[in-house]
Amino acid sequence: MMTLKDLEKKLQKADAKQAKLYLFCNFISLLLITAYSAMMFSPTVLLVLPQGGDSRKQMVAIFVLALFGCVVFTIYASGLFFRKKAKQLGTLMALGASGRRLLPGLFREVLTLSAVSSFLGIVAGFPFVWILWNCFKLISDSSQMALTFDFKCLYLSAVFFVIVVACSCLNAYRYLKKTNIMEVMHEEHRNEPVRELGRWCGPVGIGLVLAGAVLGYMGPVVCYYGFQFYAPAWINILYAPVFVGLYMIMLHTVVYGWRPRKKDPYKNLIARSMMKFQGKQTVNNLLVSTVLIAGSVFGMFYLPMTGVERAMEIKSRPYDYYYHYRADQNVPDEEEISTLAAKHGLVVKDFKKAPYLSLGMDGITEVEEGRSFHYERIPFKCEGRFLSEESYEALTGEKIALEKGSYMAVCKSDGTGLQFLEETAQVLTNMETFQSIPVKFAGYAHYDLLTDSSGYYVLNSEDYESVGQDLGGEWMGEAVFFNIDGEDSYEFAQDFFYTLISSFGPECEIPSYYDRVSKYYANSQGEVYWGDTPDMTEVSFSDPDSSNFRIYWKYMPKSRLLDQTDYNSTFSVFLMMFLFIAIICSLAAVIIEYTRCMTIVLNNRYVFEDLKRLGASPGFLLKEIRSQAGPVFKIPAIVGMGAMYFLYILLMYGNDGKITASEAGGMAVCLFILMGIGLIYYAVYRLAVKNMCHQIQG
């Protein structure tokens, strides 16, 4: 005789497919979240990505998008599981089982499935990261690519696990509270149409996406420049119209579509009706997939935008080598460099050297008052490297005539590279004698090779001689250019680099942002200079091949061949982290879309069966399947990619008020990448359609 418990087990076995789908969804969600958080907390990544830098902020922002997507996906998977389980619960209720009787068994099943899938996902996250990271190392490897984990990342996985279990238990309780047995048994066939807002919701949604992107981006800018106020974190709520607009776009897609139907209103009626009557599920899936694809594209764009800009800058250099040094350092001179080059069968030519002075500059700075600030002129704002008119001409071949008491700042030929330059100085100070001269800003000179994170200036020659009297060697320097006659050698470039480093003393073991004038002023005010705090990026002569040293050392030379060849190893962690982010978000989006296509078939099997009985041909059924699966893949890809491409253009323009040639080149490469990603999504779409047909035929 079969007991109620035996019947319950038998029904559970019959619903094994749904249990497997639920297990798979939870497993994938926990795997992706664990993998992403493992990378975010990895000392390998945190050591290279500067604290407070844009790269870290972007990493966290995309994680929030991925977390949002996985949470919604998990809730959706839980709801789908219980919709299918409703028939089992209704059968047991019809046989006399009360909700109180079924509750312990249902909770036990839910907790077991959730715990097992989540635990396996968490455990699998670490080998998944390890496998991907080591695959990356085949492309680009360096001493910094040794992957280490900080298991604090498990806190995020634990929080996500609690969300998974809580949602599952709430769903279980909600279904058992229903008293109408017939409603419970037919739950899986219940439609979830969305509320129709009208055809205006699509165009309005597009407008809201654009408005939200502009508002979210401009909000902090307006606070800063308009109200002299540091924007709080909550101002990011200005991006909210983006999500409202995305929802309206998806709603319009599901309910109306984007093709006019006045001429043929009954075309694709079955497919449109099926999508419309299950609109809530479809809209939610489209929205989540769009957000994840946008995050994926944002991560992917980091690679070409960084790589193209750097490649174009290296190619445009008029000299093979550039370096500068303090006058009190015993660095190799022209003869020693020529001797070193001769060991590698090379000849040095076009050797140019010119002196510069490191002077204190006054200027206008921000003085913080809580979250607001005001501007104030201080006598020692920053350190500037000043070339005389003759020195600038000797290096660049360009003649500049400056009036006495004036100076120019050197920026790039396209007018960018201004963020590190001081334009408000009225006094220049000799930091040995503290003799000062009055000056005024006279505009910009343009020479790309002299543009870096410290900045160069050109000073009237008389003023240069006057303010530079009795200046010590630590406040003087030399800038050097030279070429190699014929084809350069990587071995020489590397040998020169290590030889140059070994000639510097420990007093030069500082990052590029370290400003001695700013330090002097902070100390004179009884404050600790921010560059001396332990959280700042450190460089070390003992590790000259690290990203921190190559990117941030104050006296880092520029070598065309070395910079070209070592680009991947120098930026390996940056590149691999953002490529990893793109893969994680893309996987999540693809899995959600594929799962949605499979549930379309499961939820509408009876519709397809009826169509077959009415004589529908295989070709007609295939057309209907494509009409269902197409928007699931196509709309998120178009909206997510298009919105992020537009946002990236906005970000590029907002940096300096223009789109430079290197940025335009990077965006062109990004366009080709979007095409490649689109082909991948199309391949998954074809696979989904094939499996949907298999489900119907089976």
The continuous run of DSSP H or E covering 84 comes out as helix 54-94
* Mean pLDDT in residue range 258-270: 59
The region of weakest confidence among 122-126, 518-522, 594-598 is 594-598
With contact defined as beta carbons under 8 Å apart, do 133 and 147 qualify? yes
CA–CA distance, 78 with 82 (Å, rounded to integer): 6
CA–CA distance, 74 with 92 (Å, rounded to integer): 27
- Lookup: tokens for 230: 């540091």
**pLDDT over 50 (residue 646):** yes
The continuous run of DSSP H or E covering 384 comes out as strand 372-388
With contact defined as beta carbons under 8 Å apart, do 66 and 588 qualify? yes
**pLDDT over 60 (residue 193):** no
CA–CA distance, 589 with 246 (Å, rounded to integer): 16
Question: Comparing 181 with 142, which gets the higher pLDDT?
Answer: 142
Assign 180 a pLDDT band (cuts: 50, 70, 90).
low
**pLDDT over 50 (residue 179):** no
CA–CA distance, 375 with 380 (Å, rounded to integer): 14
Cα dihedral 14→20→23→26 (10° resolution):
-120
**pLDDT over 80 (residue 167):** no
- Number of Cβ within 10 Å of residue 444's Cβ equals 16
SS3 of residue 91 by DSSP: helix
**pLDDT over 80 (residue 310):** yes
* Mean pLDDT in residue range 210-221: 82
The region of weakest confidence among 32-41, 274-283, 513-522 is 274-283
Question: Comparing 373 with 384, which gets the higher pLDDT?
Answer: 384
With contact defined as beta carbons under 8 Å apart, do 410 and 275 qualify? no
Residue whose structure tokens are 């209704």: 90
Phi-psi region at 148: left, alpha or beta (left = phi > 0; alpha = psi -120 to 50): beta
**pLDDT over 90 (residue 46):** no
- Lookup: tokens for 648: 């990236």
CA–CA distance, 152 with 328 (Å, rounded to integer): 46
Assign 267 a pLDDT band (cuts: 50, 70, 90).
low
Cα dihedral 403→406→412→416 (10° resolution):
-130
pLDDT score recorded for residue 185: 47
* Mean pLDDT in residue range 167-193: 59
- For the segment 316-375, what is each residue's pLDDT rounded down to a tens digit? 889 999 999 999 999 999 999 999 999 999 999 999 999 999 999 999 988 887 778 888
With contact defined as beta carbons under 8 Å apart, do 235 and 220 qualify? yes
- Kindly tell me the burial class for residue 40, based on how many C-beta atoms sit within 10 Å of its own C-beta (0-12, 13-18, 19 or more): buried
> In Å, what is the CA distance from 369 to each residue of 362, 372, 375, 522, 541?
21, 5, 11, 17, 39
- Lookup: tokens for 119: 């635990």
pLDDT score recorded for residue 135: 77
Handedness of CA 642, 643, 649, 652 (dihedral sign): negative
Pick from 642, 636, 680, 639: which is nearest to 282 by CA? Answer: 636
SS3 of residue 402 by DSSP: coil
CA–CA distance, 573 with 550 (Å, rounded to integer): 13
CA–CA distance, 698 with 400 (Å, rounded to integer): 81
**pLDDT over 70 (residue 196):** no
Pick from 189, 17, 191: which is nearest to 86 by CA? Answer: 189
- Lookup: tokens for 608: 């397809």
SS3 of residue 406 by DSSP: strand
- Type of residue found at 578: F
Residue 189: alpha-carbon gap to chain centroid? 41
**pLDDT over 70 (residue 403):** yes
- Kindly tell me the burial class for residue 236, based on how many C-beta atoms sit within 10 Å of its own C-beta (0-12, 13-18, 19 or more): middle
Alpha helix locations (H) across 366-460? 389-396
- Lookup: tokens for 50: 């500067």
Handedness of CA 155, 160, 164, 170 (dihedral sign): positive
CA–CA distance, 370 with 376 (Å, rounded to integer): 16
pLDDT score recorded for residue 263: 60
Pick from 593, 655, 592, 353: which is nearest to 479 by CA? Answer: 353
Q: Exposure string (b/e) for 359-393, b if CB count within 10 Å is 16 or more?
A: bbbbbebeeeeeeeeeeeeebbbbbbbbbbbebbe
The continuous run of DSSP H or E covering 127 comes out as helix 99-139
Q: What is the DSSP string of 265-276?
A: TTTTHHHHHHHH
The continuous run of DSSP H or E covering 354 comes out as strand 348-369
CA–CA distance, 556 with 545 (Å, rounded to integer): 11
Length of the chain equals 698
- Lookup: tokens for 347: 């000849």
Angle at 405 between CA 400 and CA 407, to 5 degrees: 45
pLDDT score recorded for residue 438: 94
β-strands 558-559, 440-446: how paired? unpaired
- Lookup: tokens for 384: 């500037």
**pLDDT over 80 (residue 452):** yes
* Mean pLDDT in residue range 627-639: 83
Q: Exposure string (b/e) for 421-437, b if CB count within 10 Å is 16 or more?
A: bbeebbbbbbbeeeebb
User: CB under 8 Å, gap of 24 or more: what pairs does 330-338 form?
Assistant: 330/503, 331/500, 331/503, 331/504, 332/496, 332/499, 332/500, 332/503, 334/482, 337/482, 337/496
- Lookup: tokens for 625: 């399947």
**pLDDT over 70 (residue 307):** yes
- pTM to 2 decimal places: 0.77
Question: Comparing 620 with 475, which gets the higher pLDDT?
Answer: 475
Q: What is the DSSP string of 590-652?
A: HHHHHHHHHHHHHHTHHHHHHHHHTT--HHHHHHHHHHHHHHHHHHHHHHHHHHHHHHHHHHH
pLDDT score recorded for residue 52: 60
Question: Comparing 674 with 629, which gets the higher pLDDT?
Answer: 674
pLDDT score recorded for residue 177: 65
With contact defined as beta carbons under 8 Å apart, do 71 and 162 qualify? no
Q: Which of 121-125, 557-561, 635-639 has maximum average pLDDT?
A: 557-561
> In Å, what is the CA distance from 314 to each residue of 319, 448, 670?
10, 10, 20
Percent of the chain clearing pLDDT 90 (strictly above): 25
* Mean pLDDT in residue range 662-681: 88
CA–CA distance, 322 with 604 (Å, rounded to integer): 68
pLDDT score recorded for residue 61: 75
Q: What is the DSSP string of 545-589?
A: TSHHHHHHBTT--EEHHHHHHTHHHHTHHHHHHHHHHHHHHHHHH
- Lookup: tokens for 411: 């920026």
